[in-house]
Amino acid sequence: MIKHFLARQHLDQLFSVLSNAGYQVVGPTVKDNAIVFTELSHVEQLPWGRQEIAKPGHYQLTDTSTNRCFAWNTGPQGLKPWLFKPEQPLWQAEQTEQGLCFRQASIEAHPIAVIGLRGCDLAALKLQDQHFLQGPYPDPYYQAQREQLFIIAVNCAQSAETCFCVSTGDGPEATHSFDLVLDELEEGYLMGCGSEQGQAIFQQLTLGPQVSKDQLHTAQKQLADASQQQRQMPDEDSLLKLTENLEHPQWQDVADRCLACGNCTLVCPTCFCSKQESTSDIKLQQAEQVRLWDSCFSEQHGYIAGKLFRPEIRHRYRQWLLHKLANWQQQYGRSGCVGCGRCISWCPVGIDLVAEAQILVKGTPHEPTDR
Amino acid sequence: MNQPIASFVPLTTTLMDKHQESPGIFTLYLKLNTSAPFNFSFGQFNMLYLFGLGEVAISIMGWRNNLLLHTIRAVGRVTQPLVQLEPGQQLGLRGPFGYGWPLEQTKGKDIVFITAGLGCAPVVAAINHTVEHKQHYGRIVILQGVKHHNDLLWQTQYDHWQNTGNCQVLLAASEEYKHRYKWRLGMVTELLNFAEFDTENCAVLMCGPEIMMLAALKQLAKLHVADEAVYLSLERNFQCGQASCGHCQLGPFFVCKDGPVFHYPTVKPWFGLSGI
Ligand code: SF4
Ligand code: SF4
């Protein structure tokens, strides 16, 4: 890919060109001491000179010695809430003189340009696309926003302690699904194009001077540094074998620590579970059906009248991990984990998915118990 | 798979008639507010919506005189008020979803139906279909288990199947029984020993509590019935019916999309395990 140089002082041009092209810019900013994706109007809102310290059960922002705006890796949420909304009205019902009427909820989508997504975020996007768009019932709400999405990805120049995208094959380089991609250097950005829409934006920017060999080398070195990661998820074949070891004692061990709070599923960029809620007005004339994010850690997740299919935390943790790492492969052709590390840092008790998976793949097989 | 008549947004339906089958169990006769044909397979399910209260997945019991039949046990937050609707009142419907019984692939074979409790509802229509098309099938055996003999729904149906349909009907009551008719004391699975069918050329269609189906599978194995001959209908938490909400997952399967009727060899590694 041919890279062009965008000087730091011209980053704001990117914002104005995107906005003139009709996009709402969405990107990272600091909010409540975390990196949060939000609608941005100017480059000063980016998290300049901020970096996260992420460890099991720990997430904290600190100042960096450099003046970069992409020196962090992840915040609690990536792209997921922008496409698969935490709360999505599905349809309305109304009691009219003609009887009960239903209508689809209005589809509210507008062009957004999201800046700062990483390799893991793009891998997660691909998986969410598969789930929401490529099944027998494409989701109209997801689809409408997905079609109006412009992506400016960033190659990671460093890794957080919790990152393990190298072992899942999803980072630290952004290799697909973007319109533009950036490497952040001290003096500015190396910019590459990934689509025609990207090209159209790119052409309106003040670029140059020509990218030097040194700059390319620095970008390569940054990626190599970011690839030095402490955690490694076991390979997919070993993960698939976890389905043969349903009574491994580690399931109980982790259940004794897990609070079943569901944080891990909420921050995970690939988790897609939802529940539906019905409401009506007090006169019982209008009713609405709303879809909300849900978690497999809730007891209700596997409930049908009179029966809880996963009554114990042990069953629910096992559902989360087995689905994510093994059954996902059978459903979507790859593991559902993209190595972002979010579930590790946002777990209140610091349960480390990678450490658990490593113990589980080593285990001795136990016979499954009949109910 | 049949294309649903309504997939995302419910279709208005009107309750035309309601029939109480037993205490707490009702059959609703629904008229769909559309001229489009309602294509379904026996064993598929619909999501029924009660205004303001929500949806519930109910298997299709049948189709009679242009009305859709659903038999509902009033046990849940939605089903209790649902069965209190009166004729003329309306509700919403999405569906049909999932795969039904393999009534084409099983032609030429003896058919054994095994059900327990209200588990019978998803197979009633399939039984009627095979009885009506008896020339395409071999012997038809119907095994049904209940707790008490008076829990049995559709008593006259069973009579009809036995007498005019020429089926072998065997009934078991686990907690008491009558010394007449075809009742036996015990579990439905024990009836298999009295069932007359070709174990090498049969299809077994089962639904009901999983614990019953597990016991039946053991008994079938003893009789040397191959796993390949067995189909079962599973129940899970269906909220969307579209393999999206994630609630009905069973290992790699979305029961709403890959089932609810499964070919047993497909689901075998995940069936009957605790806490899955
Ligand atoms: S399972 Fe954890 S590390 Fe993997 S994608 Fe989800 S949040 Fe990220
Ligand atoms: S693993 Fe951690 S974040 Fe996930 S449910 Fe358990 S305690 Fe909560």
Q: Are residues A186 and A128 in the same domain?
A: yes
Q: Indicate yes or no: CB of A273 within 8 angstroms of CB of B247.
A: yes
Average pLDDT over residues A118-131: 98
Average pLDDT over residues B38-50: 95
Helix (H, G, I), strand (E, B) or coil at A28: strand
Based on DSSP, count helices (H) and strands (E) in chain A, helices before strands.
14, 15
Q: Is B8 on the interface with A (CB under 8 A)?
A: yes
Q: Is B258 on the interface with A (CB under 8 A)?
A: no
**CB < 8 Å to A322, chain B:** 251
Domain termination site, one of A205, A226, A247: A226
Flag whether pLDDT at B44 surpasses 50. yes
**CB < 8 Å to A278, chain B:** 49, 52-55
Contacts of B122 (CB under 8 A, 6+ apart): B42, B43, B45, B59, B60, B61, B207, B233, B260
Domain termination site, one of A226, A258, A283: A226
In chain B, the residue whose alpha carbon lies closest to the alpha carbon of A95 is B51
pLDDT score at A365: 53
Q: Indicate yes or no: CB of B10 within 8 angstroms of CB of A90.
A: no
Give A332 Cα–ligand 2 centroid separation in angstroms: 24
Please indicate, yes or no, if residue A207 is contained in any of the structural domains: yes
pLDDT score at A106: 95
Neighbours of A217 (CB within 10 A): 10
Alpha carbon separation from A79 to A84, A112, A123, B5, B9 (Å, rounded) = 9, 11, 11, 33, 27
Nearest one of B88, B67, B154 to B117, comparing CA atoms: B154
Q: Are residues A244 and A200 in the same domain?
A: no
Q: Are residues A68 and A208 in the same domain?
A: yes
A177-181, B130-134, B188-192, B230-234: which range is least confident on average?
B188-192
Structure tokens at B64: 């009679």
Please indicate, yes or no, if residue A126 is contained in any of the structural domains: yes
Cis peptide leading into A269, omega within 30 of 0? no
Q: Please name the member of B236, B243, B276 whose beta carbon is closest to the beta carbon of A135.
A: B243
Cα gap A337→A170, rounded to integer Å: 9
Q: Is A102 on the interface with B (CB under 8 A)?
A: yes
A205, A11 Cβ separation under 8 angstroms:
no
What's the pLDDT tens digit per position in A323-364?
A: 999 999 999 999 999 999 999 999 999 999 999 999 999 976
- Burial annotation A170-198 (CB, 10 A radius, 16+ → b, else e): bbbbbbebbbbbbbbbeebbbbbbbeebb
Please indicate, yes or no, if residue A368 is contained in any of the structural domains: no
**Owner of token pair 């829990």:** B151
Cis peptide leading into A138, omega within 30 of 0? no
Q: Which of A267, A347, A360 to mutate to test the pocket of ligand 2 (most atoms within 8 A of CB)?
A: A347
pLDDT score at B185: 72
Q: Are residues A165 and A202 in the same domain?
A: yes
pLDDT score at B177: 60
Q: Are residues A9 and A110 in the same domain?
A: yes
pLDDT score at B176: 67
A4-18, A168-182, A353-367: which range is least confident on average?
A353-367
Flag whether pLDDT at B259 surpasses 80. yes
How many Cα atoms occupy the beta-carbon half-sphere of A163 within 13 Å? 27
Q: Are residues A242 and A325 in the same domain?
A: yes
What's the pLDDT tens digit per position in B54-66?
A: 999 999 988 999 9
Cα gap B110→A13, rounded to integer Å: 75
pLDDT score at B119: 60
Q: Which of A343, A351, A352 to mutate to test the pocket of ligand 1 (most atoms within 8 A of CB)?
A: A343
**CB < 8 Å to B94, chain A:** none
Cα gap B180→B164, rounded to integer Å: 19
Q: Are residues A12 and A97 in the same domain?
A: yes
Cα gap A127→B235, rounded to integer Å: 27
Query: What φ, ψ does residue A286 adopt, rounded to 5°?
Result: -120, 140
Q: Please name the member of B92, B211, B236 whose beta carbon is closest to the beta carbon of A304.
A: B236
Query: What φ, ψ does residue A140 adopt, rounded to 5°?
Result: -65, -30
Name B170's bridge partners.
B143
- Enumerate the H helices of B153-236 as residue ranges: 155-163, 210-222
pLDDT score at A369: 52
Average pLDDT of chain B? 90
What's the pLDDT tens digit per position in A42-73?
A: 999 999 999 999 999 999 999 998 889 999 99
Q: Are residues A147 and A217 in the same domain?
A: yes
The alpha carbons of chain A give a radius of gyration, in whole angstroms, of: 22
Q: Are residues A163 and A252 in the same domain?
A: no
Predicted TM-score (pTM) of the model is 0.94
Name A30's bridge partners.
A35
Domain termination site, one of A226, A259, A279: A226
Flag whether pLDDT at B145 surpasses 90. no
Please indicate, yes or no, if residue A95 is contained in any of the structural domains: yes
Query: What φ, ψ does residue B237 adopt, rounded to 5°?
Result: -80, 100
Q: Is A320 on the interface with B (CB under 8 A)?
A: no
Contacts of A30 (CB under 8 A, 6+ apart): A36, A47, A50, A61
Q: Which of A299, A301, A345, A351 to mutate to test the pocket of ligand 2 (most atoms within 8 A of CB)?
A: A351
CATH architecture of B6-97: Beta Barrel (2.40)
DSSP state of B2: P
Looking at per-residue pLDDT, the higher value among B166 and A322 belongs to A322
Flag whether pLDDT at B231 surpasses 90. yes
Q: Is B214 on the interface with A (CB under 8 A)?
A: yes
Instruction: Please report which helix (H) or strand (E) contains residue B141, including its range.
Output: strand B140-146
Structure tokens at B53: 């209260």
A156, A73 Cβ separation under 8 angstroms:
yes
A63-77, A155-169, B179-193, B229-243: which range is least confident on average?
B179-193
Atom of ligand 1 nearest to the CA of A267: 7
Host domain of residue A67 = 4-226
Name A55's bridge partners.
A58
Please indicate, yes or no, if residue A314 is contained in any of the structural domains: yes
Q: Indicate yes or no: CB of A90 within 8 angstroms of CB of B214.
A: no
**CB < 8 Å to A371, chain B:** 210-211, 214, 272-274
Nearest one of B74, B15, B80, B27 to B53, comparing CA atoms: B80
What's the pLDDT tens digit per position in A79-123?
A: 999 999 999 999 999 999 999 999 999 999 999 999 999 999 999
Q: Which residues' Cβ are closer than 6 Å to ligand 2?
A: A 258-264, 297, 347-349, 351
Q: Are residues A346 and A263 in the same domain?
A: yes
Domain pair B6-97 / B110-267, same fold: no
ipTM: 0.93
pLDDT score at A371: 45
Flag whether pLDDT at B132 surpasses 70. yes
What's the pLDDT tens digit per position in A283-320?
A: 889 999 999 999 999 988 988 877 888 999 999 999 99
In chain B, domain spans: 6-97, 110-267
Average pLDDT over residues A144-152: 98
pLDDT score at B164: 81
pLDDT score at B149: 72
What's the pLDDT tens digit per position in B167-200?
A: 998 888 877 666 555 667 777 888 898 999 999 9
pLDDT score at B118: 66
Q: Are residues A171 and A270 in the same domain?
A: no
Q: How many domains does chain A have?
A: 2
Q: Which ligand is nearest to the CA of A267?
A: 1
Give A264 Cα–ligand 2 centroid separation in angstroms: 5
Give A355 Cα–ligand 1 centroid separation in angstroms: 13
Give A253 Cα–ligand 2 centroid separation in angstroms: 13
Contacts of A164 (CB under 8 A, 6+ apart): A229, A230, A231, A232, A233, A339, A341, A354
pLDDT score at B175: 73
CA distance A349 to chain B (A): 23
Alpha carbon separation from A101 to A93, B36, B66, B85 (Å, rounded) = 6, 17, 21, 17
Largest CA distance in chain A: 74
Give A260 Cα–ligand 2 centroid separation in angstroms: 5
Q: Indicate yes or no: CB of B8 within 8 angstroms of CB of A306.
A: no
Flag whether pLDDT at B94 surpasses 80. yes
What's the pLDDT tens digit per position in A298-308?
A: 988 988 877 88
Q: Is A135 on the interface with B (CB under 8 A)?
A: yes
Q: Are residues A199 and A254 in the same domain?
A: no
| Domain B110-267, CATH | 3.40.50.80
Q: Which residues between 57 and 116 in chain B have a beta carbon less than 8 angstroms from any beta carbon of chain A?
A: 73, 75-76, 79, 90-92
What's the pLDDT tens digit per position in A184-198?
A: 999 999 999 999 999
- Burial annotation A55-82 (CB, 10 A radius, 16+ → b, else e): bbeebebeeeeeebbbbbbbbbbbbbee
Structure tokens at A122: 């793009």
Q: Indicate yes or no: CB of B246 within 8 angstroms of CB of A312.
A: no
Alpha carbon separation from A199 to A42, A188, A192, A195, B95 (Å, rounded) = 22, 19, 9, 6, 44
Long-range contacts of A348-351 (CB under 8 A, 24+ apart): A348/A57, A348/A259, A348/A261, A348/A263, A349/A57, A349/A257, A349/A258, A349/A259, A350/A55, A350/A56, A350/A57, A350/A58, A351/A56, A351/A57, A351/A254, A351/A257, A351/A258, A351/A264
